[in-house]
Chains A and B, each alone.
Chain A
Amino acid sequence: MTEINVSVNGRGHTRDVEPRTLLVHFLREALGLTGTHVGCDTSQCGACTVLLDGRGVKSCTVLAVQANGGEITTIEGLATDGVLHPLQAAFRETHGLQCGFCTPGMILSAVDLLARNPSPSEREIRHALEGNLCRCTGYHNIVKAVQHAAHTMAGGASAVAGD
């Protein structure tokens, strides 16, 4: 067992973990943060995406010990003081989710994208989300959600209709 210290959604945790423990299993099983999902075992689907020190990572591809000393944001920590992050609001507004399973990872990948590129083109959005698979939406409304959030975060009026 190895001791790690991590900050998750602004709260510090000190835990002993097996060295082989993946970050996603640490979040889900040790901390009970089940909003981060596991959809594959080959780092393709992106359902497990979280922010590690502000950047999107697939938490199935990071060992918990590698996150030692890091700051992690999961979907549970994205809203502040009960106010949804603009991307959370946008996914609802544009019907960017159906079964909801890919959604946390999809939203956090989009947070990462908009942090790097606040006004991406449709092509840039589609390219940025290539590491996140959705089987329900055909991505149409996910792309719209990211466009909608980018507009909101740039200070635009928030209500772009879903369709």
Chain B
Amino acid sequence: MATTSEPGASLIGASVKRKEDQRFITGKGRYTDDVTLPGQTYAAFVRSPHANATINRIDASAALAMPGVHAVLTGADMQAAGVNPIPPGWLHPGIKIAEFRALAVGRVSHVGNAVAVVIAASPSIARDAADLVDVDYTDHPAVADAVAALAAGAPQVHPDAPGNVVFNWQLGDAAAVDAAMAGAKSVVRQHLVNQRLIANAIEPRASLANYDAAADELTLYVTSQNPHVHRLIMGAFVLGIPEHKFRVIAPDVGGGFGSKIFIYPEECVVAWASKTLGRPVKWTATRSESFLTDAHGRDHSTDVEMAFDDAGTIVALRVKTVANLGAYLTLFAPAVPTYLYGTLMSGQYNIPAIHVDVTAAYTNTTPVDAYRGAGRPEATYALERTMDVAARQLGLDPAELRRRNLIAPDAFPFQTAVALQYDSGNYEPALDKALALIDYPARRAEQAAGRAAGTHIGIGLSAYIEACGLAPSHIVGSLGAQAGLYESGVVRIHPTGKVTVLTGSHSHGQGHETTFAQIVAQELGCTIDDVEIVHGDTGRVPFGMGTYGSRSGAVGGAALFGSLQKVKDKGRRIAAHLLEAAPEDVDFAGGNFFVKGSPSRTKSFAEVSLAAYLAHNLPPDMEPGLEATTFFNPSNFVFPFGVHIAIVEVDTETGHVTLQRYLAVDDFGNVINPMIVDGQLHGGIAQGAAQALWEGAQYDSNGQLLTGSMMNYGLPKAAFLPMFETDRTVTPSPVNPLGVKGAGEAGTIASTAAVANAVLDALSPFGITHLDMPLTPARIWSAIHGSHGGN
């Protein structure tokens, strides 16, 4: 492994306590809404109460008459000022792009669609005035369900997307699948609904824009996972502000889970309004606004057909999915149900023929985009839920069916039937370890004994793979991404040897200030406190693609590592010059350069740093200073994998599910900080389990969101969950010098299927073969006690 270039270093792999915690536990974190600027004004949005309507007239006269109201601005005002629609960042051939304006012009397409904005002296005046803006609508029939939207005669969401089709996308060899299905011993078929979710980062979205007329510069504080992407798209495509006159700062951000990747209407409006009015303008979402306007996740309706030979070997897989993308296409929306979904359909299995067919639909609902895992949880659920359905139909133990189909360890690099080439993997040890740690035979014996006594335990497995560390730029470019997905890392050594790192990754809970400092301290032999990690500010960091897709360590960390090698190399040449030795004779360990074989001939890293800046005595032709920049462009995705096992008990009298145990065995390659990785895993498992059991956004047929607050959307609480058990295998990734893989999404990717499988396993004595999520008490009770006994 390439993590240590010096002996004795041990910071990588250590559970170092987090540097950033001090400010968070003392109330000194600085989130966007905590920033207040002189002369600040406040925005409140007027939003559509209709899912599909024509705007006839907007009368702002009463609002404008309120004392303290500075302006009421509409979509027509923005359009007249030359503000463009917000573009999606990923395109497919034939894709129908509906115009996504920050403030609606002429029509609204979902409840919550912003129609106008009030700018006022206080938040309460702005809110009161927004209530006085009178908008006259003509309401039209709406459609919220994607399958319904694709049916003949459905209400039309956008005039330029006939039949509400955004695109149809296919991957794999359909003819090979047809042939294999025809010759198969058995074909298992299952319809699956992967319900819509709402991210619910606990910090609501917020933005604060400040236009400085003297410098003609706009500064935007915003809850963003990728401030440079915000600057690029808002500046170059929406607002027409050159990047050198536009600074985007994402300070402390209170969770993202994907929902803070995208360029939202409100931040575009706030930025434009500040420049228009010459005042700072702040907007902070209420939670009700978050439910209506944060991009949602998932929302697939899928038919899976899995064909087997008589040995229980999968011979073909056919997946047909309808994906609901909501009313508009946000940044990654076209990629999520396609390249982040269909490409994962081989899972850990050797499946010779796979075909995936995805039709994406517009509906009169909030836009749908990446939510933790983004496509990969949907793929894993489709595959792993079907594996359990198949195991029961074939009369095989679910663990045994999985084992029979695993890709063999000597088959890597393994070319799947769905485009991805897995560079590395060794799946059976993770399965063995998980089964041993849970003591699988004992749990099955307990289950059998319990059933005889009237208790219903269920055991659910999920063997997952994910492709993360997004992403090789040339590959994603060829697949429709409008930008590459590399990352930058600057290492700036100061004359005293202290270190400033400028990273394009962004932490909104991941702990980069600690983990990235661990990498630096190990490589340079300094302490973690000697290192400052700067992120989230386009005014300080040269460029960055941000944090999502479990990419910070594998891409941002690798960029940082590259720059560390460059400064060490220059330091070595300076030290050699000072020590009057050849550079190749100088080694570096424990923060000191020394001549090989003469450990007393030494220069500390700080001495070399000072020499680089004093520049009195440098090698000929060497520039002063000690700083390096690296843009790391990965050659492939990284491929974490693992096996998770959930054990549940179902109370058949009430339908209530208790998640009793949850075990995760994961392979994240080398781990920089096990404490932080475990923490990421815990949170991910909770989110995935919550999809299986509690969460689900529901619309009525008019496009009204019925689950529009934390009172009626089932977020997990402390009392719902057990302590999680975690363990690992280690197969380092070959595509980055740290040997790391992403760990931020694995918990969510694996756990939904594990928990759902456990519940359905518990319900097998009742003849219930499948239920769609969330597996609420009402749904389970009805299945047990209802007339049809399940579906």
Residues of A within 8 A of B (CB): 18, 20, 28, 32-42, 44-45, 47, 74-76, 78-79, 84, 88-89, 91-93, 95, 97-104, 107, 122-123, 125-127, 129-130, 132-143, 162-163
Contact = CB atoms under 8 A, between A and B. Distances in A.
Given A41-B288, A104-B27, A138-B724, A133 B685 contact: no
Interface in B18-51: 18, 20-31, 33-34, 36
B279 interface: no
Contacts of A44: 709-711, 715
A48 to B, nearest CB: 11
Interface in B191-218: 199-204
Interface in B665-709: 674-676, 678-680, 682-687, 709
B17 A92 contact: yes
Closest 7 pairs between A and B when the two form their complex, measured CB to CB: A35-B27, A101-B254, A100-B24, A138-B686, A99-B509, A75-B27, A98-B509
Nearest to A134: B202
B252 interface: yes
B788 interface: no
Contact of B26 (A41, A79, A141): A79
Nearest to A76: B27
A136 B716 CA distance: 11
Given A44-B711, A91-B25, A100-B254, 12 more contacts: A38-B33, A40-B710, A76-B27, A84-B26, A88-B26, A95-B18, A97-B24, A136-B679, A137-B686, A138-B724, A138-B747, A139-B686
Contacts of A132: 718
A76 B24 contact: no
Listed residue (B27, B33, B679, B721) with the most chain A CB atoms within 10 angstroms of its CB: B27
A91 B25 CA distance: 8
A75 B27 CA distance: 5
A96 to B, nearest CB: 9
A163 B15 contact: yes
A163 B27 contact: no
Given A35-B26, A92-B18, A137-B682, A99 B201 contact: yes
5 contacts: A45-B287, A99-B509, A123-B719, A137-B682, A138-B687
Contacts of A129: 717-719
B18 A37 contact: no
Contacts of A122: 723
Contacts of A138: 682-687, 716, 721, 724, 747
B27 A135 contact: no
B26 A75 contact: yes
Nearest to A20: B124
A56 to B, nearest CB: 15
B21 to A, nearest CB: 4
Contacts of B204: 38-39
Contacts of B29: 35, 100-101
B27 A42 contact: no
Contacts of A74: 27
B719 A95 contact: no
B510 interface: yes
Contacts of A75: 25-27
A163 to B, nearest CB: 6
A143 B718 contact: yes
Nearest to B257: A135
B253 interface: yes
Interface residues of B, number: 62
Interface in B368-386: none
Contacts of A34: 27, 30-31, 33-34
B511 interface: yes
B754 to A, nearest CB: 14
B287 A41 contact: yes
> Among the interface residues A92, A130, A139, which one has the most CB atoms of the partner chain B within 10 A?
A139
Nearest to B20: A100
B45 to A, nearest CB: 15
Contacts of B509: 98-100, 136
A89 to B, nearest CB: 8
A162 B676 CA distance: 10
B679 A47 contact: no
Nearest to B284: A38
Contacts of B723: 122, 140, 143
Interface in B252-271: 252-255, 257
Given A35-B27, A98-B510, A130 B685 contact: no
Select the residue from B25, B203, B687, B747 with max chain A CB neighbours within 10 A.
B25
Contacts of A28: 34
A30 B658 CA distance: 45
Contact of A101 (B15, B31, B287, B715): B31
B200 A130 contact: no
B202 A137 contact: no
A141 B24 contact: no
A33 B34 CA distance: 9
Contact of A33 (B27, B124, B287): B27
Contacts of B715: 44, 133, 135
A83 to B, nearest CB: 11
Contacts of A41: 286-288, 709
A37 B676 contact: no
A78 B28 CA distance: 12
A99 B716 CA distance: 17
B402 interface: no
A124 to B, nearest CB: 10
B678 A163 contact: yes
B508 interface: yes
A148 to B, nearest CB: 13
A47 B683 contact: no
B17 A37 contact: no
Contacts of B711: 42, 44
Nearest to B507: A99
A162 B510 CA distance: 17
Nearest to A105: B202
Given A18-B124, A127-B719, A136-B255, A99 B203 contact: yes
A84 B28 CA distance: 13
A69 B25 CA distance: 27
B671 to A, nearest CB: 13
Contacts of B284: 38
Given A98-B510, A135-B715, A93 B27 contact: no
Contacts of B288: 41
A41 B747 CA distance: 29
A78 B124 CA distance: 30
B124 A98 contact: no
A103 B24 CA distance: 7
B28 A35 contact: yes
A129 B716 CA distance: 12
Contact of B687 (A38, A104, A135): A135
B27 A99 contact: no
B203 A101 contact: yes
A88 to B, nearest CB: 4
A61 to B, nearest CB: 13
Contacts of A163: 15, 674-675, 678
Nearest to A91: B25
A24 to B, nearest CB: 11
Nearest to A123: B719
B131 to A, nearest CB: 14
B287 A40 contact: yes
A134 B680 CA distance: 13
B513 to A, nearest CB: 11
Interface in B274-324: 284, 286-288
